[in-house]
Structure 1
Amino acid sequence: MGLFEAPERASATTMARLVVANPFLPERIALEREILGPDFVDVHSDWNLRPGSGAIHPNLEGLERRVTALVDHAHERLADGHVPDDDERDVFDLLVLVLLYYRYRTRFDEVVAHDLENPGRCLPVAFYAEFERDGRRLLTIPGAALDAAAELPHLFSMFYQFRRAFFEIFNNIVGVSAPIVALRAAVWQSIFGHDLRRYRRVLYERTNDVTTLITGPSGTGKELVARAIGLAHYIPFDPKARNFTENYTGLFHALNISALSPTLVESELFGHRRGSFTGAIADRRGWLENCSRQGTVFLDEIGDLDRRIQVKLLRVLQTRTFQPIGETESRRFPGKIVAATNLDLREELDAGRCRPDFFYRLCSDMISTPTLHEQLRDTPGQLRILVTFLATRLVGTDEAESIADEVVAWIEEHLGLDYEWPGNVRELEQCVLNIVMHSRYRPIVPSRAEPFQDLARLVADGALTLEEITRRYCTLVYAKTRNYERTAQLLDIDRRTVKSKIDLDLLERLDHGPR
């Protein structure tokens, strides 16, 4: 007789498949339906689309009852002297893991909440002793113990990581459209890989070696995706101190490259020594040095990175080492790099503005964020979901629904559901704010030619000074290229001059138009 009787074997095998399935793909719900059969509850069964519903959905409670029964029956046969073969041990191991996860998932949610309320502090986790006793009892067989019994602190860390991943993915990636579902699934894979068993064995220690590149138009939430990845990093649990070694809330470090000069970018990243350049009046540690093994450095607008700094960052990606400005001793970077750009880096590569070796180091893990138009074309109801989310963030839950009613009604009447939303979710947020404050929104959608025509008219009228002409023209060209070096080449001026001449107010207005 096997470890599982014939009627149980298929259910146990399917349950094991469910453990390693990507929870944000439709396959996950299909497996739940297969396991539960007639007990499957159709109402809101797509809990993986809705934040908060996963902890209480009756299908998950049904799965916990099923896996408890399977594990209990297997223990009875183990007590009767059955010696499982390798395949049975693997299935039994996965069943115990899913049982432990379901049993303690809400307790891990409390740890996440405590970390958010106590940033910078690593608080004791009181229920670990209970978890350890439970785990050793469930994973022990007569005469031997499965390997997992010796790695309970590691499993404890993984379960905590799972709950943070759910929280951050749901909190940062909002909606139910197919592009958003695919984005959530891609983010989960960027955190855990496609094979959760491999992640458990070895990959959890090596994900820092994989650089994640997020691409997509402006306003599509690339930094939010980066936060979801960075804040769901693996954090070891210390069984002696009874706490996690880091509070996860302080492990994400963002740097916007396009907002700083190359010297400042270099200093922010690598740090510098006193006197290494004009203005370096004291030693300064950069983000690469301040970042811990569990931390993430996010480089926004990586396409604007100076080629000279590309060489230095390439060394970090290849060897995990760097040197602060003005120092010859190498330091080690232990954390993870996530980068983002709204440029087509292949075009930048072809144009010679991006080094090939740097590009290929960046693209080991690539995620693309969908436009708002793509989301609404797939699921028109996504509009209300996003408006409600934005309104809740603005005024809280009490007024959010009434604001959503007002905003959606205004959009349907004045813009129509086929409006392109060239500024994506960022534009939608401004639309919500305008309607809340003024009961209207006036989108700025200039044609590509209009800004240059306006400049020509003002020049012909003698309405601008030479400085104003220079600033406007530099800004218009940069708005098309989105690259300081390329703009400098086109205008035959120094890159630093371009950056000093950009009119940020004009650039912000242009950003509401199509890119």
Structure 2
Amino acid sequence: MYTLTAEQNRFFAQIADLAFLNPFSVGREQADWQALDLAPEAMDFADRLALIEAKLENIFQELERQRGFNIRDYPEKNQDNMRLAWLFYIFHRYRQPFNEHIKAQQQAGDKTVELAFARALISQFEQAGFTPPETAHYIALLFQVQRAFSFIDEAVSGDCPAIYELRMRLWNNIFTFNPAWYLNHLFERMEDFSLLLLGETGTGKSLVAKAVGCSGYIPFDLSTRRFVESFTASFRAINLSEYSTSLLESELFGHKKGAFTGAIDNHPGLFAKCSRHGSVFIDEIGDVDVTIQVKLLNVIQDRVYSPVGSHEKHRFEGRVISATNRPIAQLLEQGLFRADLYYRLCSDVITLPSLRQRIRENPNELHSLIARLLHRVIPTPDEDLLSRIETKIRATVPPDYHWPGNVRELEQCIRRICLTGSYQAKPLAVVVQDDFALYRAENGGYLSSQQLMQNYCRFLYGELGGFEAVARVAGVDRRTVKKYMDWDSPD
């Protein structure tokens, strides 16, 4: 048995603690400086990480030069910390190749891609004394960590307290607040933990759901050097407001051939398409009819469902992520949403901040968001263009503007300015200044019945976020709502 110096023991213990810290937490920076034995200074996360990686590499390379590193050659009491420190070291050594594999898998879609550097990585695990099952498990875990960090960082950008909190909450939702529990007990049991996302329309709930849904644990097969499933296939989504109640049951649970007129073949629903390593995202769940709520409850509670027109029982093993922009407490109070379903959906509840909250917390948030969103329109915008667009937005949009469409509206604001050079900020709801203001047009005349209905439907859509919900409240069918949403006067 070889022994470590007191300094090596202390450093490995610090890295072991560091490996379990949420990378988006405020405590991570303090732990970085402690591991480096340096006083805190102005340095970003990437630079601190580079210093830690260099220090780790020096220690492990020294151990390898002396006698070849094998974790089994050290006392058992040292092995736990050494194992985590070595995994931390290997993870950061292969971080860029893992990123390249993420891109390759995204391009390939649902067909799994061989891990290009698998042979070298497996060899390093073998030389370090890890068994084949341990090697497969840790490769799966390292890839999951890289996916989670990349997808959260990409989906949630910003520099205000609410965004810092959101990134930290999402990481904990994937790996739990105690990663030791996750590592030892929960990595293959996360289907038991549902997630409910709340927040106004346009705050990015679908992006956040995808980031979480594509970051689950997917086993690695040493023989094929592939993960058993593509992370692109592990996430399945549906927006309930896009379907009528009659079609929704089929989209969720599938149907058998001949189950109803037009059912000319078997149709797999959302739950059938989700694997045991995957997640389903049910968007606009606050708009769903109570009868569908009962069926959803049964699936989530009993983990079984039957396609329409069949008595066959199918098992659902994935995780459930749901979202709504409607006030869930009010829906529960009014009896529009079943309490028993809510308590099946709320293992974790995360509320996404509105754009106005983010700007209130940090006035510079608008600048960073404009820069980030402009990249979606123009891949390589220069600073002059960014400055011009930001200046135009600040000149056009009042400082106290409500941003009812949140980040989605800001993105369209940028596109509108690129097209027309201006953006007219208008609230969705009509502000009634006197008893008859609601019925007057901007030119002083009167609104037609079509214009009134259009305004009402658009107002309800801004409040409720779905055609089905608007149709129920307005007392018309879904097609009529869509007609008024799309309708504009000849003027």
Q: For the residues of structure 2 that align with 1:207 and 1:361, how far apart are their CA atoms?
A: 14
Q: Is the 8 A contact 1:122 1:247 kept in 2?
A: yes
Contact 1:388–1:403 (8 Å) recurs in 2: no
Task: Name 1:301's counterpart in structure 2.
Answer: 284
Say if 2:203 and 2:408, in contact at 8 Å, map to a contact too: yes
Where 2:84 maps in the other structure, the secondary structure is: helix
User: For residues 280 and 372 of structure 1, what CA distance do their matches in structure 2 show?
Assistant: 44
Q: Give the alignment partner of residue 98 of structure 1, picking from 88, 101, 114.
A: 88
Contact 1:191–1:232 (8 Å) recurs in 2: yes
User: What corresponds to 2:301 in structure 1?
Assistant: 318
Look up the SS of the partner of 1:501 in the other structure: helix
Partner of 2:110: 120
Aligned to 1:110: 100
Q: Which segments of 5 or more consecutive residues in structure 2 lack a partner in the other structure?
A: none
| 1:132 match | 122
Shift of 1:15: 1.4
**Conserved 8 A contact 1:256-1:301:** yes
Map 1:237-386; keep pairs closer than 5 Å. 237-386=220-369
Distance (Å, rounded) in 1 between the aligned partners of 2:348 and 2:20? 20
Post-superposition Cα deviations, 1:262-315, rounded to whole Å, max 9, x if no partner, equal 122211111112332333233211111122222322111110011111111111
Structure 2 counterpart of 1:168, one-letter code: F
Cα deviation code 1:392-431 (max 9, x no counterpart): 111111x253332112112333335543322211111111
| Kept after mapping to 2: 8 A contact 1:36/1:62 | no
Q: Deviations over 1:147-183 (max 9, x none)?
A: x764110100111111111221122111222211211
How is 1:354-503 mapped onto 2 (pairs within 5 angstroms)? 354-397=337-380, 399-415=381-397, 417-445=399-427, 447-450=429-432, 456-457=439-440, 464=448, 473=456, 476=459, 479-480=462-463, 493=475, 497-503=476-482
Distance 1:506 1:340, change over 3 A: same
| Cα pair distance change 1:375/1:489, threshold 3 Å | closer
Query: Is the alpha carbon distance of 1:439 and 1:250 closer, same or farther for their aligned partners in structure 2, counting shifts above 3 Å?
Result: same
1: distance between equivalents of 2:247 and 2:396? 45
Return the TM-score normalized by structure 1.
Answer: 0.84
For 1:202-221, what aligned pairs fall within 5 Å after superposition? Answer: 202-221=185-204
Superposed displacement of residue 477, structure 1: 5.1
For residues 103 and 368 of structure 1, do their structure 2 counterparts lie closer, same or farther at Cα, with a shift above 3 Å needed?
same
Deviation at 1:444, TM superposition (A): 0.9
2:32 aligned partner? 32
Asked if the contact 1:272–1:285 (Cα under 8 Å) also holds between the matched residues in 2, the reply is: yes
- In structure 2, distance between residues paired with 1:103 and 1:477: 52
The question of whether the paired residues in 1 share the 8 Å contact of 2:326 and 2:463 is answered with: no
Report if aligned partners of 1:475, 1:507 keep a CA contact under 8 Å in 2: no
The answer on whether the counterparts of 2:20 and 2:180 sit within 8 Å (CA) in structure 1 is yes
**Rounded Cα–Cα distance in structure 2 between residues aligned with 1:364 and 1:80:** 39
Q: How far off is 1:348 after superposition?
A: 0.7
Structure 1 residues 382 and 74: CA distance shift in structure 2, 3 A: farther
Output the amino acid matched with 1:83.
P
Tell me the residue number matched to 2:75: 83
Assess, with a 3 A threshold, how the Cα gap between structure 1 residues 15 and 505 changes in structure 2: closer, same or farther.
Answer: farther
Q: 1:58-207 counterparts in 2 under 5 A?
A: 58-65=50-57, 68=60, 83-85=75-77, 88-139=78-129, 150-207=133-190
How much has 1:327 moved relative to structure 2? 0.6
Contact between 1:45 and 1:59, CA under 8 Å: does it hold in 2?
no
- Measure, in 2, the Cα distance between the counterparts of 1:80 and 1:248: 33
Question: Which residue in 2 is equivalent to 1:50?
Answer: none
For residues 25-65 of structure 1, the C-alpha deviation after alignment (integer angstroms, 9 at most, x for no partner) is 12112111111123x79554234xxxxx89xx533433533
After superposition, the Cα gap between the structure-2 partners of 1:505 and 1:190, relative to the gap in structure 1 and judged at 3 Å, is farther
The correspondence for 2:217, drawn from 198, 209, 234, is: 234
Relative to 1, partners in 2 of residues 1:453 and 1:309: Cα closer, same or farther, differing over 3 Å?
farther
Corresponding residue number in structure 1 for 2:11: 11
Q: Answer yes or no: is the 8 Å Cα contact 1:391–1:403 preserved in 2.
A: no
Contact kept? 1:211, 1:365, Cα under 8 Å: yes
Deviation, 1:339, is 0.7
Shift of residue 202 of structure 1?
2.5
Q: Secondary structure, in 3 states, of the residue corresponding to 2:106? A: helix
Amino acid at match of 1:202: H
Q: Secondary structure at the match of 1:254?
A: strand
For 1:182 and 1:334, the matched residues in 2 are separated by 30
Pairwise CA distance, 1:486: 7.5
* Residues 396, 424 of structure 2: 8 Å contact kept: no
Tell me how far 1:326 sits from its aligned partner. Answer: 0.8
> Which letter does structure 1 place at the counterpart of 2:44?
S
8 Å Cα contact 1:472-1:502 kept in structure 2: no
Displacement of 1:320: 1.4
Deviations 1:71-129 (A, max 9, x none): 669979999986333xx332122122212212222221221121122223322224323
Number of aligned residue pairs: 485
Aligned letter for 2:413?
C
More helix by share: 1
- State, as a whole percentage, how many aligned pairs show the same letter: 32
Q: Please identify, of 295-304 and 112-121, the stretch whose mean Cα deviation from structure 2 is larger.
A: 112-121
Q: How far apart, CA to CA, are the structure 1 residues paired with 2:386 and 2:374?
A: 7
Q: Is the 8 A contact 1:474 1:502 kept in 2?
A: yes
Q: Which moved more, 1:216-225 or 1:121-130?
A: 121-130
Give me the whole-angstrom Cα distance separating, in 1, the residues matched to 2:107 and 2:54.
Answer: 32
**Conserved? CA contact 1:71–1:92, under 8 Å:** no
Alignment check: 8 A CA contact 2:242 2:466 kept:
no
Relative to the length of structure 2, the TM-score reads 0.88
Moved more, 236-245 or 378-387: 378-387
CA contact (8 A) 2:198 2:205 kept: yes
